[in-house]
Amino acid sequence: MEKKLKIAVLVSGGGTNLQSIIDRVEAGKIKAQIEVVISNNSKAYALERARRHNITALHMSAKKYGSQERLDEELLELFEEKQIDLIVLAGYMKLLSPMIVRKYRGRVINIHPGPLPEFGGKGMYGQRVHQAVLSAGLKETCASVHVVDEIYDHGPVLLERKVSVMPDDTPESLAARVLKVEHQILPEVINMYAQGKIDPGKIREDQS
């Protein structure tokens, strides 16, 4: 049997990006297998989405395990046990611990709903990104997939796709349009890893 890329998807909320990955995997459009979905939020609807598709869905948080260190150990153990090749942050609203980032250097990716590095960083997530784009008067924004390093939204961008800003856009309307593009580019980048088009060892920091 051909080897499939084993992925872990980390989520915090509704999980529409997770759904876009599940749908492509099930349609055979990407040679990957979702081994596990993990959420820091026990109520995340994303967990329900995973369970509906018979994917292992776990609530794992620092609170649940008593400390960040313990959570990190549990996560690492799980990733090793499941032989994870790629960790996908799909609406995960936490910084992944540097210990995990170091171990999986070049093999952790994140979807971001705006231009990087300008509209990223701590506190710049979800609607706040779209609000900032509108306040800056941009005519164009984008959805971005980047490699995760130790700093929020900082690692090299692997793929970004432009989205026009309309004169009457609200943060909500813009978010909806960007989200549709996120649903295309995140599976595309996973597929690039699955096809060996991205070599994690060769991703350079100066790509950002």
Confirm or reject binding of residue 119 to ligand GAR (CB under 6 A).
Answer: no
Binding mask 30-69 for ligand GAR (x = CB under 6 A): ----------------x-----------------------
CA max distance for the chain: 52
Confirm or reject binding of residue 133 to ligand GAR (CB under 6 A).
Answer: no
Binding mask 64-103 for ligand GAR (x = CB under 6 A): --------------------------xx------------
Q: Which ranges of the chain would DSSP assign to H, the alpha helix?
A: 16-26, 45-52, 62-65, 68-81, 98-103, 127-135, 171-194
* Catalytic status, residue 112: yes
CB of 49: closest distance to ligand GAR in angstroms? 9
Which is nearer to ligand GAR, 125 or 193 (by Cβ)?
A: 125
Q: What is the dihedral of CA 47, 51, 56, 60, to 10 degrees?
A: 20
Give me the phi and psi of 164, to 5 degrees please: -70, 145
Give me the phi and psi of 156, to 5 degrees please: -55, 140
Distance in angstroms (rounded) separating the CA atoms of residues 79 and 7 = 9
- Closest residue to ligand GAR using C-beta atoms: 91
Catalytic residue among 112, 130, 146, 183: 112
Contact 174/165 with Cβ under 8 angstroms?
Answer: yes
CB of 88: closest distance to ligand GAR in angstroms? 11
Which is nearer to ligand GAR, 22 or 203 (by Cβ)?
A: 22
Give me the phi and psi of 202, to 5 degrees please: -110, 5
Which residues are identified as catalytic?
112
Binding residues vs ligand GAR (CB under 6 A): 13-17, 46, 90-91, 111-113, 125-126, 179, 182
